[in-house]
Structure 1
């Protein structure tokens, strides 16, 4: 099985600067997406610090050790890298008044022979399209999600909630952060969508799925998603990374995978 990637960001229609940032290292199956927050350009600084740090540090480790490392070792490397990036952003926010209070969400994916190791912090999301079914495979770290989980709001009421963008976990706002990390199976034909809330707040799951199904080219799909979000108002920056697994599967249904081979 091989992987195809495409990434794009857009400022949207309501913002002057772009606080979303993405990074992809195709050779090691690494995807990083961040949505920054903070006054002035602090959100932009936080998200770019995070994606650059992880691409550099985790990307280098994966190139040097990742192919021979067990999945548990990759998990530890992801945790350590996010922790180090968190401290760097937190220290910058506390030593430069212009960056006070800055932070960023994170979606971090590493495609391996075992599947997709997916970590996230905040309300940026990852979805998997398998056949015609789109499934959200991250769970928002947000006040709105907590209210939904507690039964305080219905999904219909959540659409109009004023708490939609209040995250309960972010990188760089405290001296430590917890990366939620899970392993997901990857099958031939799967398409994975990583995105900021500038996309997911504008389009529901049915709209996302239909746009992906209607545009088999990843570049065309990414542009269609961005255009649709902007047509719905474009109230925030939009970041999109698409990854598609192509190839065949073994008879027992387990995927062939290039990463990790010697």
Structure 2
């Protein structure tokens, strides 16, 4: 099978020219009849949406989200206000769609985008739900986003350990989503643009089958986004493929600044 295509865009940050490369893939998995995941990987926005809510509901929500965010990319105005405006339109799309169900139709949304202004350029990670963004920096993998889930709230409160969370009966219950009701804005985390950084944007179909160590392993073993995406997808399917699997790998080449990740 041919390797997933890697796309590259050259950008200027300060006095430096950097190369941003990326590849993305989605797969129905082994146990689902339909794929309710959608993804968008078009510079400068890279997002994954994991839909939920009945047979068609999840597809409606995730596809509407990606379509509206694609419009934002086409407008060349990718920023927080434009993204939130698009998500407001998604809420209306979902509410008005004739196939929207009463089974909690909605979608997670997570990803990264380049934000630029007079002060420079930076990555911004955004998140609603339990899809995730990881960052591999200096050979160390960190989860940038925080899950909006019942289990994560229990972990944060000290009532559950990460190990206990793995098999918890509420492990799939999320506390925030893009759905047919008033929108709660995403959480944002800003990250400096640094050469060598590699992001993984993924639905929980990947993290159900691969540990953080496994994600780091495949990033180390495969230097291009296309090869890394293919390897992680193959491993997720081999480990069970219990859910739809979607992931994007984004990486930065050349040299840049050395500031740290910071949350707002």
Stretches of 4+ moved more than 6 A in 1?
none
Closer/same/farther in 2, CA of residues 97 and 3 from structure 1, 3 Å limit: closer
Deviation digits for residues 8-36 of structure 1 (CA, Å, limit 9, x no counterpart): 0011111111111001222xx11121000
C-alpha displacement of 1:97: 5.1
Unmatched 5+ stretches in structure 1: 67-73, 255-262
Aligned length: 238
Aligned counterparts of 1:30 and 1:97: Cα–Cα separation in 2: 28
Aligned counterparts of 1:201 and 1:173: Cα–Cα separation in 2: 27
Question: Which secondary structure does the structure 2 equivalent of 1:114 belong to?
Answer: strand
Residue number among 12, 18, 23 corresponding to 2:35 in the alignment:
18
Aligned counterparts of 2:112 and 2:163: Cα–Cα separation in 1: 30
- 1:13-52 aligned within 5 A: 13-26=30-43, 29-52=44-67
TM-score (norm 1): 0.85
- 1:81-96 aligned within 5 A: 81-92=86-97, 96=98
Aligned counterparts of 1:98 and 1:168: Cα–Cα separation in 2: 20
TM-score (norm 2): 0.85
Aligned counterparts of 2:236 and 2:180: Cα–Cα separation in 1: 28
Aligned counterparts of 1:46 and 1:79: Cα–Cα separation in 2: 15
Residue number among 104, 109, 114 corresponding to 1:111 in the alignment:
114
- 1:43-192 aligned within 5 A: 43-56=58-71, 58-61=72-75, 63=76, 65=77, 74-92=79-97, 96=98, 98-100=100-102, 101-112=104-115, 113-192=120-199
Unmatched 5+ stretches in structure 2: 1-17, 260-264
Q: CA RMSD in A?
A: 1.8
Specify the alignment match of 1:2 in structure 2.
19
Aligned counterparts of 1:43 and 1:82: Cα–Cα separation in 2: 15
Deviation digits for residues 143-169 of structure 1 (CA, Å, limit 9, x no counterpart): 010010111111111111111110000
Q: Is the 8 A contact 1:104 1:170 kept in 2?
A: yes
Aligned counterparts of 1:90 and 1:183: Cα–Cα separation in 2: 31
Q: Is the 8 A contact 2:149 2:173 kept in 1?
A: yes
1:199 and 2:227 aligned: no
C-alpha displacement of 1:99: 3.3
Deviation digits for residues 91-134 of structure 1 (CA, Å, limit 9, x no counterpart): 32xxx255333100001421135211221100000000112111
Which structure: greater strand fraction?
2
